[in-house]
Structure 1
Amino acid sequence: MSGQPSHEILKHRIPALDGLRGIAIALVMLSHFLLRSFWTDKDWYTRVQGGWLGVDLFFVLSGFLITGILIDSKGRADYWSSFYKRRILRIFPLYYFSVIVVWLTVIFWEQAPGRLHGYDSFFWYFSFTPNIAMALKNNWLYHSHVFNLNHLWSLAVEEQFYLLWPLVVRWLPLRWLAAVCVALLCIATPARHWVDGLLGDPLSTASYVLPFCRMDGLAAGSFLAVFFRLDLQHFIPYDKWLARIALCWSGYEIAGIFVHGTEQRLFTLSALFFGAMLYLSLNTHPRALVRRICENRFLMHLGKYSYGLYVFHLMFEYAWLRWFGKALISSTLPPALGQTIYLLLAFAGTYALARLSWALIERPFLRMKKTWAARPAA
């Protein structure tokens, strides 16, 4: 059928994936850069803050890419070493740079090492387990007066996924792997309800950050990676129309939830929504609407620097508030104008930091993939 992607194209860089990363980081930054003080209608403030669903898009993309890499590496002698070396080079340098900067700030600048104990100990960040501490505390962790690292919980979920998922992919046939993905997608919402019931909290922090409660996004992306490598798209009639229906239906349901209040099935619906968006972005027809949106140059540019943007945007939240946020809030500017100026300034500051981190931290380590984590010829 026209426009159907072959699994062969997945072996090359796909520009639309950078665009999807751009959409994800734009949603997350928009959500965190909205200041409640500018909103007279607090209900609308809560609804438009739904940009945090961009994290679910990151999960879908991560599941799709990581599972695809693992499937394509099955049978290689360097299956384990190549995968983990590449993940370390991509994630660890900037992650640990940000954690160490904040740790040193709390100890030496704020002189508050006494705050760093128990669930608020930096042990959790250094071990990639802050989400576990958040679940045990059922709340966000202590942050300094200057920096905030609570958003790193999502990176912890992905790292924990990387520990177990390569085992599953290595030993299961693809059809069984697809079944496991569907099962994980289906049990995520019941798992969140179970955790909420244990804690007596209908929307607990624990159910938001625990890996088995957030498997739906990773599972949806992983399923698509298996789906294309089995070439199942060639056996499903009207596959694009089915994806469009899934996109519209899940989008409608998500919008309805935000109107009436958040509920736990939202995360599974967002996994379906972004999974359908990912599927349609891989349409090989050059004029396909979703593909054209995802190949927008601005979105692709954002996607290229999305890791740095994600790490720094909330890390410097209090810096942005201190340097210009409070002045805008107390000014006589109309709230809409004040919010817009704050968005632009906070984005500009975060973007500058992300570009610096790309040049000084991320890119130098990524270049090491060619030597330290090089793949031998098949």
Structure 2
Amino acid sequence: MVRNVGLDFTRSIAILMVLICHGLSFFFMNHNVIGYVYVFGYLGVELFFVLSGFLIGSIMLKDIYHKPKWKNLYEFCAKRWFRTFPAYFVMVIILYFVQKDNFNMQTLFFLQNFRAEHLDFFAVSWSLSIEEWFYVLFSIFFLFLAKIRNSSKKSFILVVVLLLILLSVSRVYYVINYSPLWDFGVRKQIPLRFDSMLVGVLLASIKLYYNKIYEYIPKNRFYLIANLLILFFFGVLYVYNGIVHDTINSSFYGRTFLFVIVSISCAILLVYFEKCKINDLSQGVVKKLITFLSKTSYSVYLVHFPIFMFIAGKYQSNPSILSSLFLMLLSLVVTYAIAITIFLFIETPFMQMRNKLFPNHAKDGVGRY
């Protein structure tokens, strides 16, 4: 099975940004880093969303949209759940014994995003809820679309674009009428965040149906420079200033169009990463490190937050930079030790079982997703 190093690199960047976000928030909050916390956390998760939409969108197109059978829908969902459920529910069980009082049934059904206090039990699970519901709802939707439109490529792209517009309009309506907070009220709400993954699906469809356009994008550096400028000024800088100056919760742009603009920028970066020279790396240290960070990213994402919280709560008595740095490094070591264990003894056996049950999935080179 051939791995795309560029996509692994994207996933590695995403998990490192999330780790930096929570590392700063738990160990360096006395050093005026609040703006950086949200910038790293927001962009890291957005990269995950777009990458997930791109990879899973490719599978949806191949296995559901172009083979619209209920059996394929069942296999698609089963394969996804073999990938995501085992490690997730292992963490739920562990957290249940650690903080039983915060447990809520919504976490078992990926419905914890609708009330802020429900996320106290498993804080980072909000993004997984969005992804899981996206997989289920849109795989069903694309199956029906394929049956109605006879798997037309133009219909698929048109519908995805219309859905992106509809979701943006829905977010505008919601913000105008309910004035939600930026983070929990918009960023973490299931129906309002499907657009990030839909951008990834749109990118997958462009790669499949209009590959010449997809191949042309990374050949022109102008697009990369323009995209980085847009991402910086209309994404990074806007979020940073909004958090530092406490204006993000009242910002119309920040709670509406920011999300789709940043998602599109992440999608364009994804094209460059997939096609960049990093894919030419031989089996050296750098490639092995990227592959390691990518493979363990899901387990690391699941386990790091409670570990950071425990170590910070127990040992963070001296606010000096040196002690904070030491505790953060200690947290990372513990995180990766536990994450590697979960990857080796939970994730890997279930993925091997999945590939035996669905051998075509492994043969097609998507067995790791």
Shorter-normalised TM range: 0.7 to 0.9
C-alpha distance 158-192 of structure 1, shift in aligned 2 (>3 A): same
Shift of 1:288: 8.6
What is the rounded CA distance, in whole Å, between the counterparts of 2:266 and 2:214 in structure 1? 22
Give the stretch that moved more between structures: 20-29 or 75-84.
75-84
What is the rounded CA distance, in whole Å, between the counterparts of 2:191 and 2:323 in structure 1? 40
Q: Equivalent residue of 2:277, what SS?
A: coil
Q: Equivalent residue of 1:150, what SS?
A: coil
The aligned residue for residue 154 of structure 2 is 175
Shift of 1:278: 0.6
Residues 259-297 of structure 1, C-alpha deviations (whole Å, 9 max, x = no match): 4314223322220221011111222x63799xxxxx754
Structure 1 ranges of 4+ moved more than 4 A: 234-239
Shift of 1:342: 2.6
Q: Equivalent residue of 2:182, what SS?
A: coil
The aligned residue for residue 33 of structure 1 is 23
The aligned residue for residue 256 of structure 1 is 237
The aligned residue for residue 163 of structure 1 is 136
The aligned residue for residue 141 of structure 1 is 118
Q: Specify which of 335, 339, 354 is matched with residue 354 of structure 1.
A: 339
The aligned residue for residue 51 of structure 2 is 61
1:342 equivalent to 2:327? Answer yes
Residues 245-270 of structure 1, C-alpha deviations (whole Å, 9 max, x = no match): 22332233223303431422332222
The aligned residue for residue 366 of structure 1 is 351
The aligned residue for residue 79 of structure 1 is 72
The aligned residue for residue 7 of structure 1 is none
Q: Equivalent residue of 2:359, what SS?
A: coil
Residues 126-147 of structure 1, C-alpha deviations (whole Å, 9 max, x = no match): 112112x32xxxx24263xxxx
Q: Equivalent residue of 1:316, what SS?
A: helix
Shift of 1:239: 6.0
Counterpart residue type for residue 91 of structure 2:
S
What is the rounded CA distance, in whole Å, between the counterparts of 1:76 and 1:288 in structure 2? 33
What is the rounded CA distance, in whole Å, between the counterparts of 2:258 and 2:175 in structure 1? 15
Instruction: Please tell me whether the aligned partners of residues 60 and 217 of structure 1 are also in contact (alpha carbons under 8 angstroms).
Output: yes
Shift of 1:162: 1.0
1:47 equivalent to 2:36? Answer yes
C-alpha distance 236-125 of structure 1, shift in aligned 2 (>3 A): closer
What is the rounded CA distance, in whole Å, between the counterparts of 2:343 and 2:164 in structure 1? 34
Q: Specify which of 79, 82, 87 is matched with residue 89 of structure 1.
A: 82
1:123 equivalent to 2:105? Answer yes
Q: Equivalent residue of 2:67, what SS?
A: coil
Counterpart residue type for residue 47 of structure 1:
Y
Give the stretch that moved more between structures: 347-356 or 298-307.
298-307
Counterpart residue type for residue 89 of structure 1:
F
C-alpha distance 151-344 of structure 1, shift in aligned 2 (>3 A): same
Shift of 1:204: 5.7
Gaps of 5+ in 2: 147-151, 243-247, 249-253, 281-285, 365-369
The aligned residue for residue 296 of structure 2 is 305
Instruction: Please tell me whether the aligned partners of residues 12 and 294 of structure 2 are also in contact (alpha carbons under 8 angstroms).
Output: yes
Counterpart residue type for residue 363 of structure 1:
T
Shift of 1:125: 0.7
C-alpha distance 297-327 of structure 1, shift in aligned 2 (>3 A): farther
Instruction: Please tell me whether the aligned partners of residues 21 and 300 of structure 1 are also in contact (alpha carbons under 8 angstroms).
Output: no
Q: Specify which of 183, 203, 207 is matched with residue 224 of structure 1.
A: 203
Gaps of 5+ in 1: 1-10, 117-121, 290-294
Q: Equivalent residue of 1:149, what SS?
A: coil
Number of residue pairs aligned between Structure 1 and Structure 2: 336
Q: TM-score, normalised by structure 1?
A: 0.79
What is the rounded CA distance, in whole Å, between the counterparts of 2:62 and 2:300 in structure 1? 29
The aligned residue for residue 275 of structure 1 is 267
Residues 186-215 of structure 1, C-alpha deviations (whole Å, 9 max, x = no match): 344443343333433342623222223112
Residues 4-58 of structure 1, C-alpha deviations (whole Å, 9 max, x = no match): xxxxxxx95322211111111111111111146734553x432343111211111
Instruction: Please tell me whether the aligned partners of residues 214 and 271 of structure 2 are also in contact (alpha carbons under 8 angstroms).
Output: no
